[in-house]
Structure 1
Amino acid sequence: MSRIYDSWEKLVRAVLRREEDRQIALRPSFSSSSSADVSSRSSFDSTFFFDPFFFGDVHAPSACRISGEKLDPAHLSSQDTFFFRNVMAIEYEEIRKATKNFTADLLVGEGGFGSVYKGWIDEHNLTAVKPGSGIAVAIKKMNHQGLQGHKEWVDEIHYLSQLHHPNLVKLIGYSCNKDERIVVYEFMPKGSLNNHLFTRGHLFLPWATRTKVAIGAARALAFLHNLEIPVIHRGINSRDFLLDGDFNTKLSDFGLARDGPTGDRTHVSTRVMGTYGYAAPEYMATGHLTTRCDVFGFGVVLLELMSGLRVIDRMRAAGKHNLMDWAKPYLKDKRRVSKIVDSRLMGKYPPKEARKVAKIVLQCVSEDPSLRPRMSEVVAELEKLY
């Protein structure tokens, strides 16, 4: 009994520490130490995080392991009661069965959080079933050596349990067993946008499909930004946009998301997190986070959709390592926009639409955040093309 109490006491202390960090992050001034962390890095070829990896030996309460039941608020602190409301817990043993003990054959992706597996569960009682029966789910299992940890796991569940929209991935449930942290989503048959653009063996996207994907991505962000308390995704990149069987786009990975500014506040101050190349320059320099930071990230993804090229690629010829720097002169000249359109399209796209997309990209990645459009405006412009 004392061991259970000790573990629970540690969890409460950890949650309170997290809340203190959150309050500090909301203060107007940005920590100078964070700026130092940014400048000390010589290169950013992938996702970067400056939050400490929090996990330790904290065990979640036993309520986390009750299959098919909502988390009992009586077992949680006031903070986590809010975070985990309306979330279904799934037995870890059922997760293990659904993934055949996390076999490599069912591995469908890797990310900062960890590995993603495909599995099948009964949608009513959330138990493992034979492949091809029940519903297919994506099971994201935290890697203890990964870039994200318990804090991001809690935040992801916190947001996805409350936010519901056709262009957001649907949260099915979660599982925690001793030191395991798992999130279960609806399975997206076509995988990530990143794979279709940059990984061999995936279906090539024609221009019309790319436009459809862009509209869905823009709608997801417009929904988040137009909430009474706006939500800033903060980690936008091409891996976060998943595609269903009809190439409808759904935004995922909310581990870095934060509530945006309200009232007379112009921004929230946070530790600098995100993916190099997609992160807005003013955010990297100051830690000041606004919805316009997501707009910048979307503009980069839109350029990747248009060009079929990664935003950062050291394997490209000198002068082309940074896609945005190389492409901007072409984006600004409507007579040369065709130079940056994906050559694999073999000219099968409407030149007028390409010029319009180029204009939207330029607006989204403006150095001055105030000149970037709102995502609702981006949606309106893109919908005219489809």
Structure 2
Amino acid sequence: MRKRRTMVVLAPAPDSYPPSNGPVAPPSDTNSYEFTGYKSCFTYGELVGITGGFSSANMIGEGGFGKVYMGALGDGRRVAVKQLKVGGGQGEKEFRAEVDIISRIHHRHLVTLVGYCVTENHRLLVYEFVSNNTLQHHLHGEGLPVMDWPKRMKIAIGSARGLTYLHEDCHPRIIHRDIKSANILLDNAFEAKVADFGLAKLTNDSMTHVSTRVMGTFGYMAPEYASSGKLTDRSDVFSFGVVLLELITGRKPVDSSQPLGEESLVEWARPLLVDALETDDFREIADPALECRYSKTEMRRMVEAAAACIRHSVTKRPRMVQVWRSLDVDGGSTDLTNGVKLGHSTAYDSGQYSADIELFRRMGFEADLDTAEYGLSDQDELPPGSGRQQRTAAGR
């Protein structure tokens, strides 16, 4: 019996938001993931061949759902092959969700799916290869040059545009659910590409999704999501705010080497953000490695955006499109206040906050925060001549 085939129509990436520049194609109800015209179906043997038999020398990353290998197609294009763990049905579930979602996305700031492979025992995804590792690597890696301010601003704007596309121009909208610096890949020009949609969820505009299992990375997760599993697009906004704090401060989202009470980047930064905006002095919160070499106007815009994103009250956080517009002078001006006056933090609006953040902190320290899905962690020791010695990152 011939398998059904389905054409996937990709919405073009608009230059401004909103309105939408065309809906994303609705999910297919077929179990035959044979995409015509845009995506390629690979055999398992083909992927074995292009990765050197999934050689450890070609492994460029490892995460909770599997390993990532570098390979090259017959036309010379480098790709990243994600070999998903299979077992208990979870691997298949994540595979099908990821293929269904990513195949319908096309944007310069989102990693592109090239193809896939599915057999009884293997499920693999083939992505474009993004050559310059991750934002996490460049901000927190040992012995690397300090990332200058123009690059940080460029990455913030690019990743905000990609996430805005997911939230505003995909119908139904796509919530990423695991935004972090390790999932922002960089090309050689330091253009940002948001990766890892394996945890993404499609939600209807009128629906607040309550997940049966909370998934994400502690240190980035919105308190309401960490404590209750309630998921909205504003959960992504909170996580992106933590990424902005990393760009501003150079600090990790959770760092147990910091003094007691300052381990959480969000908690440490909250009062400093308010002070910086009230005094127009950013020296206390800016990454000391920058040595004050930044545009004060741009720094203020990023600090304002970060402060708005990490508000404890979900309804007081801006939409992603507002965040993008506030960062990008070409995106048009926008108001991030949402009724919140400067100096009046919404962090303590809820009596549940202390319990939420304590759970948030405790679970964060129990998690392994140094593992990276793409690229290498700081602790990796590479054998001489290994393909992993290249400072590269894989677009899943």
Smaller-chain TM-score bracket: 0.7 to 0.9
Cα drift, residue 312 of structure 1 = 1.0
- Please tell me whether residue 339 in structure 1 is matched to residue 280 in structure 2: no
1:374 to 319, 325, 333: 319
The alpha carbon displacement at 1:146 in A equals 12
1:88 aligns with 2:40: yes
Corresponding residue number in structure 1 for 2:272: 330
Rounded Cα–Cα distance in structure 2 between residues aligned with 1:266 and 1:73:
31
The percent of aligned pairs where both chains have the same amino acid is 38
Q: How many residues align?
A: 303
SS at match of 1:352: helix
Match of residue 137 from structure 1? 79
Partner of residue 304, structure 2: 359
Shift of 1:287: 2.3
- Change beyond 3 A, Cα 1:203–1:147: farther
Distance 1:148 1:199, change over 3 A: farther
Match of 1:238 in 2: 181
SS at match of 2:179: coil
Q: Normalized against structure 1, the TM-score is what?
A: 0.72
- Which of residues 195, 203, 215 is equivalent to 1:260? 203
Find the residue that maps to 1:211 and give its secondary structure.
helix
Relative distance call for 1:204 and 1:268 in structure 2 (3 A) is same
CA–CA distance in structure 2, aligned partners of residues 119 and 201 of structure 1:
27
Secondary structure of residue in 1 paired with 2:271: helix
The Cα of 1:82 is off from its aligned counterpart by 7.6
Alignment match of 2:91 (pick from 149, 173, 182): 149
| Maintained 8 Å contact 1:112/1:146 | no
Distance 1:114 1:277 in 2: 22
Q: Is contact 1:315–1:321 with CA below 8 Å preserved after alignment?
A: yes
> Is the contact between residue 4 and residue 30 of structure 2 (CA under 8 Å) also seen in structure 1?
no
State the alpha-carbon separation in 1 of the partners of residues 63 and 99 from structure 2: 17
Change (3 A) 1:252 1:358: same
- Per-residue CA deviations over 1:55-88 (Å, capped at 9, x if unaligned) read xxxxxxx99xxxxxxx7449xxx73448654442
Task: Report if the CA contact (8 A) 1:84-1:157 is conserved.
Answer: no
Q: Which amino acid aligns with 1:384?
A: V
Q: Which runs of 4+ in 1 moved over 4 A?
A: 71-74, 144-148
State the AA in 1 paired with 2:137: N
Structure 1 residues 361 and 346: alpha-carbon distance in aligned structure 2, compared to 1, 3 A threshold: same
Q: Pick from 58, 72, 76: which aligns with 1:120?
A: 72
Matches of residues 1-386 of structure 1 in structure 2 within 5 Å?
Answer: 72-73=4-5, 79-81=29-31, 85-86=35-36, 87-123=39-75, 134-144=76-86, 149-202=91-144, 204-227=146-169, 228-262=171-205, 265-271=206-212, 272-334=214-276, 335=279, 337-384=282-329
AA at the equivalent of 2:315 = S
Describe the SS at the equivalent of 2:126: strand
- Distance, in Å, in 2 between the alignment partners of 1:195 and 1:277 is 17
Task: Tell me the TM-score normalised to structure 2 length.
Answer: 0.71
Aligned partners of 2:89 and 2:251: how far apart in 1?
25
Query: How far apart in 2 are the matches of 1:214 and 1:306?
Result: 10
Aligned amino acid, residue 285 of structure 2: I
Tell me if structure 2 keeps the 8 A contact 1:233–1:254. Answer: yes
Higher relative contact order (CA 8 A, sep 6+): 2
**1:148/1:333 CA distance change after superposition, 3 Å:** farther
Cα RMSD over matched residues?
A: 2.6
